[in-house]
Structure 1
Amino acid sequence: MSTYSILMPFAPTRPEQALPFGAFAQWSSAHRLWQGQATLHEPHHTFTHMAAGGFRVPVGLGVTLMPFRHPYDAALQAQSLAVTMGHPVVAGFGPGAKVLQEGLLGAPYRSQLQAVREYVTIVRGLLDGEPAPPPGEYFTCKARLPKVPRPPVEVGLGVLRPGMARVAGETADVAITWLTPASYLRDTLIPALREGAEAAGRPVPRVVSIVPIALDRDGSDPRDAVLTANSGHLSLPHYRDMLSRSGIHVDTADPRTAAEQVLKGGAFLAGTPGQVAGRLREFTEAGVDEIVLNTTATYARFGVKSALEELEKVLREVSS
């Protein structure tokens, strides 16, 4: 059976804005609270503020972007967060879009897969206290991370396509997906994860799928929910390619038809609590270990209270 977690559905401008979701994660049946990369308020700091406010829960970073920090700093921040929260942490990473890489590094990584392989290997080794790997093409780290008593830290990798899934199988503890239909996970990504893990002689990583949802509301068109939450993703080539591989062809010149295709293809789930819960079970059947409920659209359109109510309804439905 999958566990169910929740995503903080916005990027806080002030850390106290995150506290209602920290409280919900602590008091509800949610397994973990996740946050993606943010530039308004850095997610490690947001979680630290939450802990200082009394809300210490398991957390996940899904995902932070490699160009923002050296692997040593990434491992240090993940370890510090585990100590601060007093609960396990999933430290998820991804290379980001090529335009971001160029803006921060001067040029994109020549090989996205090799850059990720080096980065994750260094972070995992630092957290495990292993000797430094040989210098890589993109990253080198000869230092050691001081060991401290702490809860476990899993190293995750954002995965959209088979090549990255195989790298995750070789190197990561967790594969983290976003906007990926259950059928695509079952038929494409999870087999690629297994291939990578078998080639490296290691266990298959856990699969975490961040799934966008929106419950029916009177007079509300679910296509609007898709576009509110994911119009940025639908404009990025690597997301369009992933969706195309899953049978969802996105035409950016016709956003509403694109949103309809995303709904039909199961990348975004909308409907009644029972209908959404039924579609979520497809992710469990596909082999997903942890399902993260993403109410970004509801938060953006109707506010905090509506997003929390939606989470409560869906969590109640999936546990019944």
Structure 2
Amino acid sequence: MNVGIGLPIGDPATLLTWAQHADAGPFSTLGLLDRLVYHNPEPMVALAVLAGATSRIRVQTEVLLAPLRDDALLAKQAATLDRMTGGRLVLGLGIGGRDDDHQVAGVDMRARGRRLDEQMAVMRRLWSGEPYGDGVGPIGPAPARPGGPEVLFGGFKPLALERVARWGDGFLAAAAPSWAGGLFDTVRGFWKEYGRDGEPRIVAQVNVALGPQDVIDDARANMHAYYAFTGMADRMVAGMLTTPAEIRGAIAEFDELGADEVMLYCYGVDPAQVERLAEIL
């Protein structure tokens, strides 16, 4: 079971410290959220900086709101980062759910799922070295991983879960163990239905805060602000794990469900959490 760190977004200046400590520890991946109308760092830029400051740990968007971005430019950015990190990029993608993000990007929210499918068709073609089309040649560089970086999709609805089998390499599950198993089974079912070889990679996510009460309070406040638009922030914050026993238990449950990796997502900005989490693994 691999375990990664989901980086906090409250203070971008601390993320180099987080990344370097995680790279020196037992963690497999650094993940970073994406929003446009918010004070979070832009993930492709931030992860490029963090990748340059680390040597082995993977960098993962979790999830990048692809419909807000130009498909050809996103393909080039992802291929560049994948090539320059020696294949350490994991591109987690989703469609987002905030009106304001889509409004400022000039994207119709009602068409965001269809737009993501169209983007994937373009990006897969470009990552394979094929021309863009209509008299336009290829757009490089070639990614380190043949066919493009590893692509994971987040989501809960059947169309989002089916997208894993159509375009992706795996699934990002921001769900508690109590109901994540059903999502895993659905993704695996679509995978077989599409005749894909092997198994989809399954990456689970749990929200954690480990440390003194002020660290926990900071994490809860930041998470509540981030998810206030959902109307379910109180319930989501209540599910945050704050003890070593709770965190170990969740990792064990996801292991039993067959997850390949668990991302411990932190909202409190204290970098000392990296060492605390490393100690309990």
Who is 1:197 aligned against? Answer: 191
1-structure distance, mates of 2:98, 2:137: 28
The 3 A distance-change label for structure 1 pair 201 and 54 is closer
> 1:273-288 maps to which residues of 2 (within 5 A)?
273-288=244-259
Equivalent position to 2:266, from 287, 290, 295: 295
Equivalent position to 1:309, from 251, 275, 280: 275
The 3 A distance-change label for structure 1 pair 226 and 19 is closer
Query: Where do 5+ consecutive residues of structure 1 fail to align?
Result: 134-139, 241-249
Structure 1 contact 56–87 (Cα < 8 Å) conserved: no
> 1:255-266 maps to which residues of 2 (within 5 A)?
255=234, 258=235, 262-263=238-239
- SS of structure 2 residue aligned to 1:269: coil
- SS of structure 1 residue aligned to 2:159: helix
> 1:159-178 maps to which residues of 2 (within 5 A)?
159-178=155-174
The 3 A distance-change label for structure 1 pair 5 and 141 is farther
Equivalent position to 1:269, from 231, 237, 241: 241
> 1:134-153 maps to which residues of 2 (within 5 A)?
144-146=138-140, 148=142, 150-151=144-145, 153=149
Who is 1:245 aligned against? Answer: none
The 3 A distance-change label for structure 1 pair 194 and 71 is same
Who is 2:97 aligned against? Answer: 97
The 3 A distance-change label for structure 1 pair 259 and 146 is closer
Who is 1:3 aligned against? Answer: 2
Letter paired with 2:271: V
2-structure distance, mates of 1:55, 1:90: 15
Identity between Structure 1 and Structure 2 (%): 22
Who is 2:150 aligned against? Answer: 154
Q: Deviations over 1:104-146 (max 9, x none)?
A: 2253233x4323222223323322335769xxxxxx9965333
RMSD value, Cα: 3.2
> 1:99-118 maps to which residues of 2 (within 5 A)?
99=99, 100-105=101-106, 107-110=108-111, 112-118=112-118
- SS of structure 2 residue aligned to 1:215: coil
Query: Where do 5+ consecutive residues of structure 2 fail to align?
Result: none
Q: Deviations over 1:153-181 (max 9, x none)?
A: 10122223333112222211121133x11
The 3 A distance-change label for structure 1 pair 288 and 226 is farther
2-structure distance, mates of 1:113, 1:259: 25
Structure 1 contact 26–55 (Cα < 8 Å) conserved: yes
Aligned residues: 274
- SS of structure 2 residue aligned to 1:10: coil
1-structure distance, mates of 2:263, 2:271: 17
Letter paired with 1:154: E
Structure 1 contact 34–59 (Cα < 8 Å) conserved: yes
1-structure distance, mates of 2:216, 2:141: 48
Structure 1 residue 11 displacement after superposition: 5.5
- SS of structure 2 residue aligned to 1:109: helix
The 3 A distance-change label for structure 1 pair 67 and 276 is same
The 3 A distance-change label for structure 1 pair 148 and 195 is same
Structure 1 residue 38 displacement after superposition: 5.6
- Report the TM-score when normalising by structure 1: 0.73
2-structure distance, mates of 1:201, 1:109: 30
Who is 1:80 aligned against? Answer: 80
Q: Deviations over 1:251-274 (max 9, x none)?
A: x7xx4xx357x43xxxx3232x13
2-structure distance, mates of 1:221, 1:149: 39
Query: After TM superposition, what 4+ stretches of structure 1 lie above 6 angstroms from structure 2?
Result: 220-224
Who is 1:246 aligned against? Answer: none
Q: Deviations over 1:189-242 (max 9, x none)?
A: 112212322232214421112211123646x79788545324432532xxx7xx
- Report the TM-score when normalising by structure 2: 0.82
Q: Which has the higher contact order (CA 8 A, sep 6+)?
A: 2
